[in-house]
Structure 1
Amino acid sequence: MPQEVSRRRFVGLVGASAGVALAGCSSAPGADEAENPFAPETPPKDIIEQATLEEPESTSPSRFTEVFRAVRNSIVQIQVVTPQGNGQGSGWMYDTDGHVVTNEHVIDGATEVNIRFRTGGWRRASIVADDVYSDLAVLEVDQPPGDANALPVKTRDPPVGEEVLAIGNPFGFSGSVSSGIVSGLDRTLPATPDSNFTIPDAIQTDAPVNPGNSGGPLVDLQGRVVGVINSGGGDNIGFAISGGLLERVVPSLIETGNYDHPFMGISLRSVTPAIAEANDLDLASGVYVVRTSDGSPARGVLQGSRRDTVINGRSVPIGGDVIRRMGGQEITTEQQLSSFLALETSPGDTIEIEVVRDGRLQTVDLTLGTRPPPSGSL
């Protein structure tokens, strides 16, 4: 595992400030003053008050401070030892049984894991289970501090624009907090470097996210975990695994040591204007089935592309099904389909799928399988 456990490059910014002094000169009382019979002997009272009135210092903490104080004892710093070297990350208390949530990529390949709460020293933690497809992992520690409370999880996506805090240990600086807003929802992140699978329903934020933040909580101003910080993608762009996906995966990891993801066995693309034109679609919306995998649940149920054509100099697939609805829900993009599968279905479920096939609207039933190990299609 590389030492940099968050996937964001660091750009250091150094700010310099300069102070400017203003000098005021006054004349000594004398002839000029005497020649002006209208000159007041003393400045008006309101001028004196304006000059001497000081802004009172605020004695009440900000809402950010209140939230941070409420959750800080539940945040942990993580250090791991791997054959490739040492790494670090963040985590947080999930329940009262000593379970700590972090990212799978933080503890990937670890031969030893140590964690530290705000109070107390380093202590050994064991890996309960992890799931590469959601980048989530669960650790366990004996006798956590009494003030390390379980943090509540919000399963519904926060609204775009809501203020959030990213809490963790960037670059090893423990107990750090940065603020921002929810910038976007329903993002997809790469699950593994060697597969086509993605992590759906991710939350985008502009709160600064740096190496060492991975696994820490993204919390709202009620102190609820809305996501698990996964990565930073650039300046003012960070991502978190949603609370909705978290609450499907983590309980299963704790109870069974595993989580089975639903599997269709298709390669797909969101319908573009070029795909709509090539396939004589009346609407550039939905998800296009490029191909179905051998032996997958979709083989024989859904129809993949039969050949390509050229539109404006680009190769475009034709002949494949266009998915418009699944389980009664409208599907307009690839991201929506992935989120529906991840949050609304389980292996073994039979779902009704509405497709446009050869220009006609049809309905088919597909029974979901279990996603195979990394490398493959959706």
Structure 2
Amino acid sequence: MALLEVAHSVSSAITRRRLLGAAIGSVAVVGTGSGADDGHGRRRSERLGRAVRAQVDERYTEVYDEAIDAVVLVNVFGDEIPAGLGSGFVVDDDYVVTNDHVAGEASEVELQFRDEQWRSASVVGSDVHSDLAVLEVDDVPEVASALSFSDGEPTVGQEVLALGNPLGLDASISQGLVSGIDRSLPSPTGFSIPAAIQTDAPVNPGNSGGPLVDLEGDALGVVFAGAGQTIGFAISAALANRVVPALAEDGEYEHAYLGVSVVPVGPLLAEANDLEEPRGVLVADVSSDAPAEGVLEPTDGVESIDSDPVPVGGDVIIAIDGQEIPNQEQLSSTLALETSPGDTVEIEVVRTGERETVELTLEPRPDVDLP
């Protein structure tokens, strides 16, 4: 599926960071004058501050106007009564993205567009591992232009806008920053959702499935959930760019499977295993019939350090295909974003104090029994 590009040019977009930088610079220049000019300088800086805020607010309005018509209310019915409510957004002429947990077990859902038109949509593909689902709509209203997933990497401190239907309140916007990246989100499958975005933009029930957009109007991610206290999360565009086209075309997406349980290498674990530095992940267990079985070695004992039990033995994974693996998050992200089932990968490990490289062929994740 070819995801459409947003046609609007954003070459003149002004971020708050650039505007505030300009304002600070101007105020500094004003402040170099004589004391008699202090009142005039303050007035100039106040006017500049108001202009900065006005320009930023104007950009928020522009992004909202450009993107909001792509955002839909997703209404899910079960046993002839509403069973769920969430958000989604148009990504192509016929497709809408939302969360798997919003679509649930439904095969058909109802969508309400910004212009109050209703459409029925078929759930053509869903993936519980990434919590994404794709809906097909026969007749998307002309007013709803598709959003594009961003090709860029989110950066901490970047301004973002969450669009959706919190608490069923349609066509809402909230503003915030990217608070963190490469977060691992819990999943009922037992596998985490990697490479997620953390934001302080307020998100509430009903926002799930809507876009988290940057100030260029591109979707940085798909809102996943809010955890309260100004913490919300979104599934990254990087993961969605891999999963969504497969769901639209094939109805499913196969994730690469290694078949290990790991623990982070901290100072105590590094000491117990005579490692040079606390870095990488220790293979705690290898699943039977997994690609890693017979290739990677799990821990084989426990040592007490300062009365704390610490696992010893086993491989410490430090790189996959040349990509450093400093922690669990990077392991999950590398497997999710850089590999596919059927790929043969080189895994660099520390085994009994020596660096070694082993090869194995990744497989699709096995089916899981959901609670």
What TM-score bracket applies, with the shorter chain setting the length?
0.7 to 0.9
**2:38 matched to which residue of 1?**
none
Correspondence 1:58-77 to 2 at 5 A: 62-77=58-73
8 Å CA contact 2:341, 2:364 repeated in 1: yes
1:309 aligns with 2:303: yes
What is the SS of the residue equivalent to 2:179?
Answer: strand
Equivalent residues of 2:262, 2:282 under 8 A apart: yes
| Aligned residue number for residue 218 of structure 2 | 224
**Structure 1 residue 191: Cα displacement:** 2.0
Q: What residue in structure 2 maps to residue 354 of structure 1?
A: 348
The TM-score, its normalising length taken from structure 2, stands at 0.83
* 1:372 corresponds to 2:369: no
Structure 1 CA distance for aligned equivalents of residues 295 and 353 of structure 2 = 17
Distance 2:226 2:322 in 1: 35
Residue in 2 that maps onto 1:214: 208
What is the rounded CA distance, in whole Å, between the counterparts of 1:70 and 1:101 in structure 2?
Answer: 18
The alignment status of 1:140 with 2:124, answered yes or no, reads: no
Distance 1:72 1:245 in 2: 23
Q: Is the 8 A contact 2:163 2:171 kept in 1?
A: yes
CA contact (8 A) 2:75 2:82 kept: no
CA shift for structure 1 position 183: 0.5
Deviations 1:110-145 (A, max 9, x none): 264111000133221111110000000001112111
Structure with the bigger RCO (C-alpha within 8 Å, sep 6+) is: 1
Q: Which has the larger radius of gyration?
A: 1
Return structure 1 stretches of 4+ with deviation > 3 angstroms: 56-61
Q: What code does the residue aligned with 2:278 have?
A: A
Matched with 2:233 is: 239
Deviations 1:49-104 (A, max 9, x none): x9xxx9x99997611111000011110001111248521000000101x1000000
User: 2:92 is matched with which residue?
Assistant: 95
Identity of aligned residues (%): 52
Tell whether 2:179 aligns with 1:190. no
1:120-159 equivalence runs, <5 A: 120-159=116-155
Kept in 2: contact 1:170–1:211 (CA 8 A): yes
Q: Does 1:177 align with 2:170?
A: no
Partners of 2:359 and 2:83 in 1: CA distance: 49
Which residue identity lines up with residue 161 of structure 2 in the other structure?
L
1:82 and 1:112 in contact (8 A); partners too: no
Q: CA RMSD in A?
A: 2.2
Asked if 1:105 corresponds to 2:98, the answer is no
| 1-structure distance, mates of 2:239, 2:59 | 27
After superposition, give the CA deviation of every residue in 1:139-160 in whole Å (9 maximum; x if it has no partner). 1112111121110111332111
Deviation string, structure 1 residues 208-250 (Cα, Å, up to 9, x no partner): 0100000000000000000000011221110000000001000
Cα distance in 1 for residues equivalent to 2:152 and 2:239: 10
Partner SS, residue 109 of structure 1 = coil
- How many Å separate the matches in 1 of 2:83 and 2:259? 37
- CA distance in 2 between counterparts of 1:122 and 1:375 reads 35
Q: Structure 2 regions of 5+ residues with no counterpart?
A: 1-42
Preserved CA contact (<8 Å) 1:76 1:117: yes
Q: Does 1:164 align with 2:160?
A: yes
User: What secondary structure sits across from 1:212 in the alignment?
Assistant: coil
2:114 paired with 1:115: no
Aligned amino acid, residue 156 of structure 1: G
Distance, in Å, in 2 between the alignment partners of 1:119 and 1:198 is 37
How far off its partner does 1:375 sit?
Answer: 5.6
Instruction: Give the counterpart letter for 1:367 in structure 2.
Output: T
1:365 partner letter: E
Could you tell me how far 1:315 is from its partner in structure 2?
2.1
Which amino acid counterpart does residue 352 of structure 2 have in structure 1? D
Deviation at 1:205, TM superposition (A): 0.4
Q: Report the more deviating stretch, 105-114 or 259-268.
A: 105-114
Give the TM-score normalised by structure 1.
0.81
2: distance between equivalents of 1:280 and 1:99? 53
The whole-number CA distance in structure 2 between the counterparts of 1:314 and 1:82 is 50
Aligned to 1:321: 315
> Structure 2: which amino acid aligns with 1:187?
R
Query: Relative to structure 1, is the Cα distance of residues 118 and 330 closer, same or farther in structure 2, using a 3 angstrom cutoff?
Result: same
Give the 3-state SS of the residue equivalent to 2:291 in structure 1: coil
Taking the aligned partners of 1:230 and 1:251, their CA distance within structure 2 comes to: 19
In terms of fraction of residues, the more helix-rich structure is 2
Given that residues 80 and 111 in structure 1 are in contact (C-alpha distance below 8 angstroms), is that contact kept between their aligned partners in structure 2? no
Structure 1 residue 332, shift from structure 2 partner: 0.3
SS of residue matched to 2:283: strand
**C-alpha distance in 2 between matches for 1:342 and 1:156:** 17
Match of 1:287 in 2: 281
**Higher mean Cα deviation, 340-349 or 270-279?**
270-279
Q: What is the SS of the residue equivalent to 2:269?
A: helix
